[in-house]
Chain A
Amino acid sequence: MNAVIDTQDRAEVRRLRYETKQRAFLKTLVSPHVIEEHRRSPIGQHSEPLERLLAYFRRRPLAGRYAIMVVKPFEAYRLVQLSGERGVPPAPSDETIYRSQAEAEHAIFLRNVQTLLT
């Protein structure tokens, strides 16, 4: 990987334009059906609308991206947000306890959907 010389990366201009259009499109994919599909199976094979939403969410900037923190292995989990910076720990999101990885994964999805729609 090479460095980006200290001048403006023009690709960023194009990325921002893509973001605007992509978000407008992704908003049209959100439906009760897609949310229920994710609740039933947050990890694995998904319908195209759901997978498009997930592919977008997984590629959000690392700083601020949600992750799951183990409170008690296989029994209790919480959500955190990554710092995106080496050496800086994730920040706690809230105190809600989820009973499984799948439940926590779905909670992340709902938050990402909410952010997309607002």
Chain B
Amino acid sequence: MTMPKLFGYTDRLSVKPGETLDFFVHAENTTKATAQLVRLIHGDQHPAGPGFIEQEVGCEANGVWAVREQVTQLGSYLEVSDPQAKLAPGGSFTLFAFICPTKPRADGRQTLLGRWDIEGRSGYSLGIAADGRLEFALGDGANVTSAVAETPLLPDIWYLVAASLDAQSGQAILYQEAVINRYNSLLSRVAVLDYRSHGTKPIPAQPKHRTETPFLIAGASLGTAKRGARVSELYCGKIDRPGLIGRVLSRNELDAIRKGGQPPSDELIAYWDTSHGYSDAGIGDVVIDSGPSGLNAIGHNRPVRGQTGWNWSGRNDCFRLAPQEYGGIEFHAEALTDCNWDSARTVKLPADLRSGAYAMRLRARGEDGEAEDYISFFVRPKAPGSKLAFLFPTASYIAYANDRQSFEAPMTQSVTGMAPVLSAGDLEFGTRDDFGLSACDHWSDRQGVCYSSSRRPILNMRPKHRAAGPNVAWQFPADLSIIAWLEHRGYDYDVLTDEDLERDGLDALQPYTCVMTGTHPEYYSERMLDATEDYIAAGGRYIYMGGNGYHWSVAFRPDEPWVIECRKYGPAWKTWDARPGEYYMVSNGQKGGAWRGQGRPAQKMVGVGFISEGYGKSEFYRRMPDSYHRTVTWLTKGVSGEVIGDSGLAYDGAAGIAIDRCDPSLGTPPHVKLIASSGGHIDNYLLNPEVVHYAFEGMSGSYDYRIRADMAYFTAPNNGAVFSAGSVAFGQSLPINGFDNNVSRILSNVVDAFIKAGALPGSQWVNEEKQWR
């Protein structure tokens, strides 16, 4: 087979003209790719729209690139820098750790901690054998001797495990005891199970310590001979307060640690106090060694810090309140926050590049076909030059990056009401494990993925991509329908991304008279939300083009803005459920979950908020009486009849997929005008469980009037205003009939009014009694 394959990403998503951007490319079955910079205009290939539209753009990097295969290190683990080989004890020693394995039975061995060279068969390692049993392995460079516990470890149970090498007697000693309390584990003390294991085994030789072997926690070194990925035996589960002591610890001494005591200080080599170094603003990737040598451990692929520890008492629900009970660090064998490939090319973008959505189109031809990838990124202006800005919801793109729900989640067909429609790209992606998971997915140990990153190829952030589960253009390709509309109508606009909003806050939005969003800006950090609220309150005009927006509270760390963190829990619809006590984000200490649960439902900011989600059929809006109010008749100028948006690229209507409604009880501004509203949705649309406090029959589209998309408008202080579409499908109705339709007409009325500074149309009407026709 000589079918070439190409996949790539950039070092950041938002860039200015004239700046350089690093492109990272992985190639299979080819060493060359033809690169062409393109401006992306429209993505959805639905036959009722204009199809895929790109414009080739001159660039110094256009032409043939040398490309090659890259290797990706998956898995989260800790590495200890130990230049003086303190962690290579010459005589007796004891390794210990509290652990809560989430997948003790795996395809292969998992290393908990050690200085272990897999290929070189040298060093020492405390780990879990493939059959789930604790294993202490010692290698002299030729032979490996293992001591294996008799009782297998059980998933989601906390244990104290330890292994000693007694150099005098030539014995290896294993220690395994459960540390179950009322809160910390899957099972309580009432379950009759055997957790403990103690044993000894003669060890014929001392371990050989190679100087180049790193001390790792939750992984082991493959050895120096191996190219690329260098850490294997990756562990799934939590580790809390591990340590290394230069002598044999007695059973009593280990029992004292198990009961919460500090490890003995004599002969202490290292003790990683995983609960140390926490702050109110989050936890970083450095795990502090409180032992004599300060051999701190550094996290790779973002181990999840601040998780409930072995001694979690259930009283506090955040690492900020009881750090000593939150020493759990969670590891996953498939974690990936940065592919860390070598750059294929550093590209200097043209200095006169117009702000917009762009991609480096890479193509390579082989005997069996052509590979193509559009490495997408966004060019903001050198300095804001337009009155209008389109804000690409890149935080949500990262959250959904490489989402595998379509073919991996048992519930997807029930949610979408259809069989997944898989493209060749989906099939290729389905066989790969090297591009990481989305914040909608699960790791293989069933835990939800709380970190997602843009530093890897994102196969669903591509212009022609269709989401397989619901068989629609989703997120980025759907948002391009709005870009195509802006182009068609000839508006002068800049583009921004969430990356800019998170970094610059209000400063990103303030230069613009009007800001419009993408179709599904669902994941919002506090900083992004604050900036948006402040922008509107200060007189900004805001067009919310989507549905189910401003829903999840997420967080970024300023030093790694390409990684999003989220915690899913509570009554909101969610593809995974964070464990009790793990609701706060480590990136900044902010509470995760849905914003509604923190007193900030979307209604307070944009008038409408999450009421339902459904697939297969969209509806139209009907004009509501408010639309005839003289303060707002300008919005529907040129629209004849009552029906708005009865066609579209997303299930043939403008009101669908994710829909929002006004709700005064959730903070819709009292003076809102309800311009139009949908109804009669199919029963695939169900009520958002956040508004369901008690379930009963009939909470679906054809039964419940609350399930609708509200098109809403309200004025804000200082000549500000908000127009909300309240539906994801709204933007995908714009391209119908060559962009000549009443959704397009209404949006033009809004944009035309919003980009003019000063008083808004209709604002001259002030006396309520005179405002009706």
Contact = CB atoms under 8 A, between A and B. Distances in A.
Nearest to B154: A5
B471 interface: yes
B419 interface: yes
A55 B647 CA distance: 27
A11 interface: no
A111 to B, nearest CB: 11
A3 B102 contact: yes
B156 A2 contact: yes
B414 A3 contact: no
B407 A90 contact: yes
A104 B419 CA distance: 9
A59 B617 CA distance: 21
Interface string A100-113: 01001100100000
Interface in B414-471: 414, 417-424, 427, 430-433, 442, 444-448, 466, 471
B484 to A, nearest CB: 18
A67 interface: yes
A68 B471 CA distance: 10
Nearest to B193: A5
B431 A89 contact: yes
A39 interface: no
Contacts of B576: 1
A43 B617 contact: yes
Interface in A65-111: 65-70, 73-74, 77, 80, 82, 86-90, 101, 104-105, 108
B186 interface: yes
Contacts of A116: none
Given A5-B154, A5-B187, A89-B430, A59 B418 contact: no
A44 interface: yes
Given A89-B427, A101-B421, A5 B155 contact: yes
Contact of B422 (A6, A45, A68): A68
Interface string A27-49: 00000000000000011110000
B410 interface: yes
A117 interface: no
A74 B52 CA distance: 13
Nearest to B102: A3
Given A62-B410, A108-B419, A74 B187 contact: no
B702 interface: yes
B421 A70 contact: yes
B414 A55 contact: yes
Mostly helix, strand, loop or mixed at chain B's interface? Answer: loop
A58 interface: yes
Interface of A: 1-3, 5-6, 42-45, 51, 54-55, 58-59, 61-62, 65-70, 73-74, 77, 80, 82, 86-90, 101, 104-105, 108
B46 A74 contact: yes
B47 A74 contact: yes
Contacts of A2: 156, 186, 446
A77 to B, nearest CB: 7
B421 A77 contact: yes
Given A45-B617, A66-B419, A73-B45, A5 B186 contact: yes
B155 A3 contact: yes
A54 B616 CA distance: 14
Nearest to B47: A74
Given A45-B683, A86-B404, A67 B422 contact: yes
B420 A3 contact: no
Interface string B135-153: 0000000000000000010
Contacts of A105: 418-419
Given A3-B186, A5-B187, A101-B471, A68 B421 contact: yes
B419 A68 contact: yes
B34 to A, nearest CB: 23
B56 interface: no
B408 interface: yes
B447 A1 contact: yes
A87 B47 contact: no
Contacts of B408: 62, 86
Q: Max chain B CB contacts within 10 Å: which of A3, A69, A80?
A: A3
Given A3-B102, A51-B683, 16 more contacts: A3-B156, A3-B186, A3-B446, A5-B155, A6-B154, A45-B682, A67-B419, A67-B421, A68-B420, A74-B45, A74-B47, A86-B408, A87-B430, A88-B431, A105-B418, A108-B419
Contacts of A55: 414
B577 interface: yes
B413 A65 contact: yes
10 contacts: A2-B186, A3-B445, A6-B152, A58-B417, A67-B407, A68-B422, A77-B421, A80-B422, A101-B418, A104-B419
Nearest to B407: A82
Nearest to A69: B422
A87 B418 contact: no
Contacts of B103: 3
B425 to A, nearest CB: 9
A34 to B, nearest CB: 16
Q: Max chain B CB contacts within 10 Å: which of A42, A62, A77, A108?
A: A62
B421 A90 contact: no
B525 to A, nearest CB: 26
Top 8 A-B pairs ranked by shortest CB distance?
Answer: A3-B155, A58-B413, A43-B616, A45-B682, A68-B421, A58-B414, A44-B617, A67-B420
Nearest to B464: A73
Contacts of A73: 45, 423, 466
A69 B152 CA distance: 42
A5 B105 CA distance: 11
B427 A90 contact: yes
Contacts of A67: 407, 419-422
B446 A44 contact: no
A108 B413 CA distance: 13
Nearest to A107: B419
A20 B414 CA distance: 21
Interface in B88-130: 102-103, 105
Contacts of A44: 417, 616-617, 682, 684
A89 B408 CA distance: 11
Contacts of B424: 70
Nearest to B424: A70
B430 A90 contact: yes
Contacts of A61: 410
Interface string B213-250: 00000000000000000000000000000000000000
A87 B431 contact: yes
Nearest to B576: A1
Contacts of A74: 45-47
Nearest to A3: B155
Contacts of A88: 431
Nearest to B156: A3
A62 B405 CA distance: 12
Q: Max chain B CB contacts within 10 Å: which of A58, A68, A88?
A: A58
Interface in B71-89: none
Nearest to A85: B408
Q: Max chain B CB contacts within 10 Å: which of A61, A68, A77, A86?
A: A86
Interface in B6-45: 45
Nearest to A42: B418
B419 A70 contact: no
A28 B187 CA distance: 43
A86 to B, nearest CB: 6
B626 to A, nearest CB: 29
